Structure 1
């Protein structure tokens, strides 16, 4: 790992801090929007010292969407726990300073379009010779070759090209999955790749270049279930949307998820329709059977209220859940039991944060600090 003396590590620490798996690892992040920042934020939660390099005026995504005093909530949630420096990469002095930071770092996270790094004098040959132990993560939309190599890449565009928008649609109308699913999934894969590269570096002593196209990520992520009808060679079956597991009650909704024959049998017992079991057993097409099963169950569930069905399903061991609002989820007793969220200080007052979901020998890795102000750590961090 990097020598702790090579960079001044004035990392903000709160009482929630503890020993973390990536303590001592230095990350330089030059990315914007959500893919790279989300990956780097996860590395910060795991203990890395993440230095966010921002242009003059700050990351252009800082004020995006719902915000308070210039701190966009999405930006805040993807950039907490980091330190910020302002570097103008359009100047020779700025490029020199970034190179100085990279020379003593373990990891570089960037999501420039493929040709941008070379245009800045930061091509892979330069970075590799500058710091042979550096692990470089390059996130882009479509890869660095091919007709789309330099095309703009945003979450919804990748969804459109990877079948998600078509598959999410109902009644002939396509629909985008909200909440930047592609960006966040790509960030998680980026962290996974970085951790694998860190392990490889322990064996070889050398870093390397990781290329991570969003297009490829979603192919890997979606394939196990979305592409069931294209798994077997020669299969030309039509894609069918899965039967809805959301059931309307007399006063709301519930979700059920009977995953096997025994659980489907319990569901029929719960709705007092055990006589249907033999009919379903005779159905040879599992997809058609599932559609008919949920259609019939939904008609019965409409007759009673949500509280009745949740209690009934629980009593008969049917996998079921309420349909919570976002606020109901935040206030759920199990969420509180697990201590998923807590508040930390920030330049705009206390902010709610979600802790890293895994625990390490019972250590909970809560956020160590809020997001930085623009250039807040210019004087603390070297590279001048």
Structure 2
């Protein structure tokens, strides 16, 4: 491997996915060097029309699909299904996030495509998995957030709130997309041994349940809940600070920063179990100190003693952090309306580069080229394009 070889150079991906979960997975594969061919309907992925829009180009679509090639096929047409099967002969991986049963109705389910390409790794992402009584239920991330208990678990940390959050940050989509990527790459590795592909069934529901570490364990056993969540904002004179006290050493350092070493021998706080149950009283006393300081002063005092903490920043402020520039956390991608910044993958390789995008394909701009690569005749390609 040369220094210029990306980790997945040489792998080819057929991407039927739409919206967020599947496109996030295949975008990461593209960043690592895979040739990702995105199949879109004549109307295009619905994210193309979502804001932020600039001269008809959607930036969220670009973020999720930079670096992929775009072809348009109307899967209602038998000729398009024939073309897909020709493409399947040439690819390593297929990604889709339709509702279970859709690909089977099209004649493009894994058992059918494995006959054409036994080495095919077929990644399917769905709300509740491909089997079981809930398999056919329609699901977007907010529905999964509600159905897993995630929203109600999150509500516990919002003191004084009874109405569940209306969360527009689609955690289930990104989690399941990342899990799908990991499973796909594990299947690629296993194929080196067996020579055979396989199907990967990723459930958004299970991806999110897997993130509820404390909640899943508390749900199984009798557990006395603390007086107040042990993570949360503390008030300063001009705003709030988040601090995390995950260890005894951190608690000791926090007491030192506040000039309250007496907390370490206070029977309400000395032992973790007692401290957890009296956390509301502890926060009240801590804020008697933190409210005398500005956010900046409070953070400085805590960081001086090694306490993990942060001011509450807006996304705009967070993206201006010097760490972002140092790490190259944002990359530049380009669509028909110009350039803008997009998050790069959160991982780096010591022996190979990553490249996000940089180009976002226009709808169907690669149709003729990709179909020709699959061996379709010029006449067949023109018929499909028309």
TM-score by length of 2: 0.89
Counterpart among 206, 231, 234 of residue 247 in structure 1: 234
Question: 2:272 and 2:178 mapped to 1: Cα distance?
Answer: 41
Deviations 1:88-123 (A, max 9, x none): 100011111111111110000001111111111112
Matched, 1:51 2:37: yes
Instruction: Check the 8 A contact 1:250/1:303 in 2, yes or no.
Output: yes
TM-score by length of 1: 0.89
Which residue of 1 is the match for residue 196 of structure 2?
206
Cα 1:283/1:289, change in 2 over 3 Å: farther
Instruction: Check the 8 A contact 2:150/2:209 in 1, yes or no.
Output: no
Residue pairs, 1:265-280, within 5 angstroms = 265-279=252-266, 280=269
Deviation at 1:286, TM superposition (A): 4.6
Counterpart among 103, 107, 116 of residue 130 in structure 1: 116
Which residue of 2 is the match for residue 173 of structure 1?
163
Residue pairs, 1:107-126, within 5 angstroms = 107-126=93-112
Instruction: Check the 8 A contact 2:66/2:333 in 1, yes or no.
Output: no
**Which range moves more in the overlay, 53-62 or 243-252?**
243-252
Secondary structure (helix, strand or coil) at the match of 2:211 reads helix
Cα 1:99/1:255, change in 2 over 3 Å: same
Cα 1:74/1:345, change in 2 over 3 Å: closer
Aligned residues: 364
Secondary structure (helix, strand or coil) at the match of 1:137 reads strand
Counterpart among 325, 329, 333 of residue 340 in structure 1: 329
Matched, 1:379 2:365: no
Gaps of 5+ in 1: 1-16
Gaps of 5+ in 2: 377-386
Question: 2:240 and 2:271 mapped to 1: Cα distance?
Answer: 30
Following superposition, which runs of at least 4 residues in structure 1 exceed 4 angstroms of deviation? 238-241
Cα 1:242/1:370, change in 2 over 3 Å: farther
RMSD: 1.9
Instruction: Check the 8 A contact 1:229/1:239 in 2, yes or no.
Output: no
Question: 1:78 and 1:337 mapped to 2: Cα distance?
Answer: 23
